[in-house]
Amino acid sequence: MAAFTYAPAIVLLPFVSFLVALFAGDRMPKGGALAGITATGGSLLLSIWVALTVAGGSVHNEILYQWTTSVESLQLNFGLLLDPLSALMLLIVCLISFLVHIFSLGYMNDEGETGLPRYYAGLGLFTASMLGFVVANNLLMAFMFFELVGLCSYLLIGFWFREDGPPSAAKKAFLVTRFGDYFFLIGVVGIFATFGTGLFAPITEGGEVVAESFPMLAEHAIVDGEVEGIAMLETVGMGPQAWFTVLGLLVLGGVIGKSAQFPLHTWLPDAMEGPTPVSALIHAATMVAAGVYLVARMYGFYAISPTALAVIALVGGFTALFAATMGLVKQEIKQVLAYSTISQYGYMMLALGSGGYIAAVFHLTTHAVFKALLFLGAGSVIIAMHHNENMWDMGGLKDRMPVTYWTFLAGSLALAGIVPFAGFWSKDEVLYEALIHGFGTEGGLGTAYLAAYAMGLLAVFFTGFYTFRMVYLTFHGDARSDTARDPEPVHWNVKGPLTVLGILATTIGFINMAPVAKLTGAHIDFLHKWLTGPEEGGWPALLSTDLHHYEELLHEVPHVDPAYPLGGEIGTLLASAAVSLGLALAGVLVARSLYGGADPVEHTDKLGGLKTLLMHNYYQDEYQVWLATGVTHPLARAMDKFDQGVVDGVVNGVSSVSLFGGSRIRRIQSGVVSNYATLLTLGLVLLLAAFGIMGGWF
Amino acid sequence: MWVAALLLVTLLGTGVVFLSPDKYAGKLAAAISVIPALGSLYMYWVYLTQYGGTGNALLSPADIAFSQQIPWLTLGELEVSYFVGLDGISMPLLALTTVLTTLAIVSAWTPIDERQSQFYGLMLFMEVSLIGVFSALDFFLWFVFWEGVLIPMYLLIGVWGGPRRKYAAIKFFVYTNVASLVMFAGLFALVFSTDLTSLSLPAMAEAFRTASGLPTIAGVNLMTISFILMFFGFAVKVPVFPLHTWLPDAHVEAPTPVSVMLAGVLLKMGTYALLRFNFTMLADTARQLAVPLAIIGVVSVIYGAMLALAQRDLKRIVAYSSISSMGYVILGLVAFTPYGMGGATFQMIAHGLISGLMFMCVGVIYNTTHTRMVGDMSGLADRMPWTVGIFVAAAFGYMGLPLMAGFAGEYFIFQGSFDAPTLGGAAPVLTSLAMFGIVIVAGYLLWAMQRTLFGAFSLETDYEVGPAALHDVAPLAVLLLLVIALGVAPDISFGMITDSISPVLELGGGA
């Protein structure tokens, strides 16, 4: 397939733009932006080509570069896995990156920022790393690009390095995600040690499997009891089920870090110190998605572990609710969006945990679009407000920046989950899957699902509220500051990307209107079909990364099954949609009644002590900072004292005793050490020569 | 012949530089040191392309690359010869030595402003000894070179060092000399209790492996006692906890180019000797003692990293983190797996390049700011963008960023030790503990970078702080490119390393 031959260029083009912008950006017009736009545009076109080829039924899983072949029993490679999931993700990443590059012309170039080559180099390297992560066909390659993505995030959050905030936020982002990646790395090493491979999907040649994947090996071990090829079990003294769960949870550490899930979510709100286009690209639409994408990528491995599924679902549901409550009281527009991002990724985790593979990928897609839109819209507002982000200084921007307003409104309706905007369809499907699997699954797992569902459902109300609190404060009412009365105009390079994303946020939900499809029987759940593949043969038979396979596994091992408690499938479907839509609307209406007036006032004081708790983000930052500076650092200093006093003290004690005698003899020496440099050297050479002559060598 | 040529050219260069005027000594030394550097890179190339699959120099002496053996003298019943040669373990270390020496000499142009001819002469003399250490295959010859490294290092710290240079130099000298003595005792206890007729390393390996009926002292086999004594001797050089306290003092007082050599190459002498003597000649004992040795490695990793966290001096931070990084090497060696031992050897090269790079970065900053204290300065990125850019890249390399050499080394070690048969059920636990080093290293390096490189520029000076000279930045760029090259294509070195490691694994228990 020609498209697959050129697929590596999707990753390489942005990498080239990184090099060009870094070394030649200051000699180019627009500081290297054009290189980035060209490269991501090219990658976007190639991704479309790849997606079309995948749509034609072809998939690709091949080794591209052998990182090390030195140890024959375990070779480590880079390879491409192009299947419907990665093709979709390629489209998302390339599209958002392309639009963010264009938007940056307005946000960075037009605002007269310095250091633009560094900025565009960072964007290029980020895009390349993210795309490398997306196409990775094995876990080690995924880990490597996962870390590189973290580096780029560090560089871009800290872009304004001359200030105090951004470097600190960058450090925190890297450190917190590194903590997660520590567990991920153990998981990677463990999976390679256990299965002898890190492949996500089997590599086949002419229908024969030439290299098996680790999810398939795990499946054979659990379902068919074939444990011959599985190492490590004896070493750790566990059964396959328990050990695979441990490995899965270890990898999940990285996921929780990158996708900013509780308790490693604290870095993301701080990351808003970076330029707003970066927040849109990295901290909303793509990098944060990497964690969720990884779970989807190796879903076959999680589907056989009920414990891991329960953990994913509960972490997701809890994070969705927890982050949404913190978003209620924030005063800065980007902070609201940051907490909503954490919350929305919680929904995706909830979906993955509760067997809603399609729902998760669907929400990942719609969220990427509408959250990128909201961040870019916020960026537009920030340009207009001369970089004041406080919503209480805004108001009334609706009439002064209509394009931003209408597109932002579309994104907000999508985020709140109002029909027919994109977020409604995907969030509804997430909750529906959690609900039916919660009722259908026996035992603790089902209970976990229902608990997670309840948390996710409650979060819908809060989401509607904080979203429209933001909309009303920013755009409605009277202008509350001079800047808001006379905002700076924005140009085509801001309005263009907003319009594209605005249209998408309105319409992209139509790719998977599962409820409508069920009601009418029309085959319009395209995403579902995209990820299911043909009934017989085709790519699912080759890769086993299709929905049917996952559903079978979920049914067979953890016994995740659907049940319809409210009047059959249709009735449950409608009831679930009605409940979530009703809660979202209620949230919107409450926001309107509190903040919709001409001159809104802050109502958060009515929350009393709760307000303080929410404003301090449940003291999550405080305890983590305390762990670093209150526990680890004093411990390090105590160890340093121990080292200086005890370990080195013993040495010095020994030496002072023995040197006492020596100090007498030392007086014979003249004192200038340097003068015998030559003497000592000469002496050694003479000695060597003497030995040489003795040995009859010369 | 090749090795002899390297030794002779460098030794000749030493003499020339000693006699040259101070004004030209730096440039002359750099020019001379390019010869062994290019020579060893050519040998590397020849080895890579023509000696595929060559075995271990100690275990399969028939096919040693670049070998030369000339009978020399007889000590009692023991034959001593000039015996040199290279295998996949020593070849990369030799190349590391010569390349790093050239770069260190260039990096010394700015900071070294007195007695240049003696300084550069000693640097070249140290290079001679280091080339000898990594290529000698006769114990007597090897030991001459091994001790020969100490003299220039002692003088380089003691003459050109910081305020406490005498204390640091003497501490270094006494520490390592006592260690040599202990090692020597341990080794010769074995030499005299076997029927050795030659002091060549392959002969020793053969004799120790087949030794039987060794005496026991207080119920402990002599083999074990010798192993422990030798481990102690070499471990000082590495260094591992608790034998490490000479290192921070030496690093802090040494001029930066000397720190580069100290961290980049001298520490690897310890791990190289451990691999050659303890883990090859006494492989069976090493396997038996694997768990306690691994614990020493893990403690070094965490202890070194925690101490780095408590430092304010940039050089001390890097010095302590070297202890941490070398702990990984110990863990890899005791694994006795291809990835473990091979990764440990690879890590020697990777850490040599990266720690050299880090010290050079600190040195370039120090040349400009005359302080190394975190907190004395901030916002350097504003004034020295390229230096800081490379510093940031180097720091991430040190943190084990993928596609840089450090990640490859550490990953190989983790992969190799996670299910190491020698460690049994403790393997995953010890490996996971050691891995936590990657979190702590990120902690102290990110903290130090935030404080010194970023924020508003501030530094009290009576001169303008500007970008560093090209000849200061160029060695940094070269090292960074090498680090990335080895990270992207580790097989440049890892292939020959594993080829030479596999005979070691086949001894006794097998892989």
Partner-chain residue, chosen from A67, A74, A161, that has the shortest CB–CB distance to B454? A161
Distance CA(B130)–CA(B152), nearest Å, equals 11
**Terminal-to-terminal C-alpha distance of chain B:** 35
- The Cα-based distances of B326 to A183, A524, A560, B254, B355 in angstroms read 22, 60, 48, 20, 11
DSSP 8-state secondary structure symbol assigned to residue A410: H
Q: Which residues of A touch B402 (CB under 8 A)?
A: 143-145, 147-148
> How far is CA A299 from its chain centroid?
16
Q: pLDDT at position B53, please?
A: 62
Pick from B100, B44, B38: nearest CA to B492: B44
Distance CA(B364)–CA(B256), nearest Å, equals 9
Q: pLDDT at position A396, please?
A: 83
Q: pLDDT at position A685, please?
A: 65
Partner-chain residue, chosen from A145, A640, A680, that has the shortest CB–CB distance to B310? A640
Distance CA(B215)–CA(B190), nearest Å, equals 10
Partner-chain residue, chosen from B245, B379, B442, that has the shortest CB–CB distance to A175? B442
For every residue of B429-450, which 3-state class applies, written as one string? HHHHHHHCHHHHHHHHHHHHHH
**pLDDT, averaged in runs of 10, over chain A (698 residues):** 87 94 87 90 95 90 91 91 93 94 90 88 94 94 94 93 90 92 95 93 87 91 86 87 94 93 90 91 88 94 93 95 90 92 94 93 94 93 88 86 92 91 91 91 90 93 93 88 86 90 90 85 86 84 88 89 85 90 93 85 78 82 84 87 83 66 50 52 63 54
Beta bridge partners of B220: B217
> How far is CA B293 from its chain centroid?
19
* Residue B310 near residue B430 (C-beta atoms within 8 A): no
* Residue B296 near residue B333 (C-beta atoms within 8 A): no
In terms of domains, do B252 and B382 share one?
A: no
Q: Which residues of B touch A666 (CB under 8 A)?
A: none
Partner-chain residue, chosen from A69, A143, A695, that has the shortest CB–CB distance to B72? A695
Neighbours of A534 (CB within 10 A): 12
| A167 → chain B, closest CA residue | B450
Q: Which residues of B touch A665 (CB under 8 A)?
A: none
**A79 min Cα distance to partner chain B (Å):** 14
Contact flag A655-B171 (C-beta cutoff 8 Å) = yes
Ramachandran angles phi, psi of B81, nearest 5°: -135, 160
Distance CA(B132)–CA(B142), nearest Å, equals 7
Distance CA(B298)–CA(A118), nearest Å, equals 39
In terms of domains, do B304 and B192 share one?
A: no
Q: Which residues of B touch A151 (CB under 8 A)?
A: 396, 401
Partner-chain residue, chosen from B72, B115, B439, that has the shortest CB–CB distance to A178? B439
Contact flag B439-A179 (C-beta cutoff 8 Å) = yes
**Cα Rg of chain A, angstroms:** 29
In terms of domains, do B153 and B171 share one?
A: yes
Q: Which residues of A touch B412 (CB under 8 A)?
A: 68
| A676 → chain B, closest CA residue | B155
Max intra-chain CA distance, chain A: 105
Q: Which amino acid is at A598?
A: A
| Strand pairing category for A60-68 and B78-86 | unpaired
* Residue A163 near residue B455 (C-beta atoms within 8 A): yes
Distance CA(A130)–CA(A144), nearest Å, equals 10
pTM of the model: 0.93
| B69 → chain A, closest CA residue | A697
- For testing the chain B interface, which of A23, A161, A172, A629 should be mutated: the one with the most B CBs within 10 Å? A161
In terms of domains, do B259 and B295 share one?
A: no
In terms of domains, do B220 and B362 share one?
A: no
Pick from A470, A430, A182, A230: nearest CA to B302: A182
Contact flag A67-B490 (C-beta cutoff 8 Å) = yes
Contact flag A148-B402 (C-beta cutoff 8 Å) = yes
> How far is CA B342 from its chain centroid?
15
Spell out the alpha helix ranges (H) of B79-221.
90-107, 116-135, 139-160, 165-193, 201-210
Distance CA(B192)–CA(A607), nearest Å, equals 84
Give the CB-side neighbour count of residue A332, counting CA atoms within 13 A.
15
Q: Which residues of A touch B454 (CB under 8 A)?
A: 158, 161-162, 166-167
* Residue A433 near residue A519 (C-beta atoms within 8 A): no
Question: Which residue bears the tokens 């481990």?
Answer: B231
Contact flag B428-A161 (C-beta cutoff 8 Å) = no
| A177 → chain B, closest CA residue | B439
Distance CA(A620)–CA(A617), nearest Å, equals 6
| A647 → chain B, closest CA residue | B242
DSSP result, A497-533 = HHHHHHHHHHHGGGGB-HHHHHHH----BHHHHHHH-
- For testing the chain B interface, which of A11, A22, A68 should be mutated: the one with the most B CBs within 10 Å? A68
Distance CA(A351)–CA(A349), nearest Å, equals 5
Distance CA(B343)–CA(B497), nearest Å, equals 9
DSSP 8-state secondary structure symbol assigned to residue A138: B
Domain final position from B264, B288, B312: B288
Distance CA(A202)–CA(B210), nearest Å, equals 47
* Residue B272 near residue B134 (C-beta atoms within 8 A): yes
Question: Which residue bears the tokens 């599985």?
Answer: A230
In terms of domains, do B69 and B103 share one?
A: yes
Neighbours of A45 (CB within 10 A): 14
Pick from A106, A97, A198: nearest CA to A495: A106
- The Cα-based distances of A599 to A405, B241, B416 in angstroms read 19, 67, 66
Contact flag B303-A639 (C-beta cutoff 8 Å) = yes
| Burial of A585: CB neighbours in 10 Å, binned 0-12, 13-18, 19+ | middle
Q: Which amino acid is at A172?
A: K
* Residue B82 near residue B69 (C-beta atoms within 8 A): yes
* Residue B236 near residue B175 (C-beta atoms within 8 A): yes
For B228, the domain range is 1-288
Distance CA(A668)–CA(A676), nearest Å, equals 14
In terms of domains, do B227 and B307 share one?
A: no
Q: pLDDT at position A683, please?
A: 60
Contact flag B402-A161 (C-beta cutoff 8 Å) = no
Buried/exposed B4-37: b ≥16 CB within 10 Å, e otherwise: eebbebbbebbebbbebeeeebbbbbbebbbbbb
3 state SS of A342: helix
Contact flag A681-B442 (C-beta cutoff 8 Å) = no
* Residue B304 near residue B241 (C-beta atoms within 8 A): yes
> How far is CA B248 from its chain centroid?
15
Distance CA(B416)–CA(B331), nearest Å, equals 9
Domain final position from B261, B288, B315: B288
Neighbours of A614 (CB within 10 A): 18
* Residue B102 near residue B29 (C-beta atoms within 8 A): no
**A637 min Cα distance to partner chain B (Å):** 5
Q: pLDDT at position A668, please?
A: 42
In terms of domains, do B270 and B371 share one?
A: no
Q: How many residues does chain B have?
A: 511
In terms of domains, do B164 and B66 share one?
A: yes
Residue spans of the domains in chain A: they are 1-137, 305-602, 622-694
Buried/exposed A351-363: b ≥16 CB within 10 Å, e otherwise: bbbbbbbbbbbbb
pLDDT tens, residue order, chain B (511 aa): 899 999 999 999 999 999 999 899 999 999 999 999 999 999 999 998 887 667 888 888 777 889 899 998 888 788 899 999 999 999 999 999 999 999 999 999 999 888 899 999 999 999 999 999 999 999 999 999 999 999 999 999 999 988 889 888 888 888 888 889 899 999 988 888 888 888 899 999 988 888 877 877 777 888 898 999 999 999 998 888 888 888 998 999 999 999 999 999 999 999 999 999 999 999 989 999 999 999 999 999 999 999 999 999 999 999 999 999 999 999 999 999 999 999 999 999 999 999 999 999 999 999 888 888 888 888 888 888 899 999 999 999 999 999 999 999 999 999 999 999 999 889 999 999 999 999 999 999 999 999 888 888 888 877 888 888 888 899 999 999 999 999 999 999 999 999 999 989 987 543 3
Q: Which residues of A touch B424 (CB under 8 A)?
A: 235
Q: Which amino acid is at B43?
A: M
Neighbours of B242 (CB within 10 A): 17
Distance CA(A643)–CA(A636), nearest Å, equals 10
Question: For chain B, what is the domain count?
Answer: 2
Distance CA(A222)–CA(A562), nearest Å, equals 22
Q: pLDDT at position A667, please?
A: 47
* Residue B487 near residue B411 (C-beta atoms within 8 A): no
Q: Which two tokens stand for residue B448?
A: 């130090």
- To the nearest 10°, the Cα dihedral for A601, A603, A608, A609? -100
Domain final position from B288, B311, B339: B288
**B225 min Cα distance to partner chain A (Å):** 23
In terms of domains, do B362 and B414 share one?
A: yes
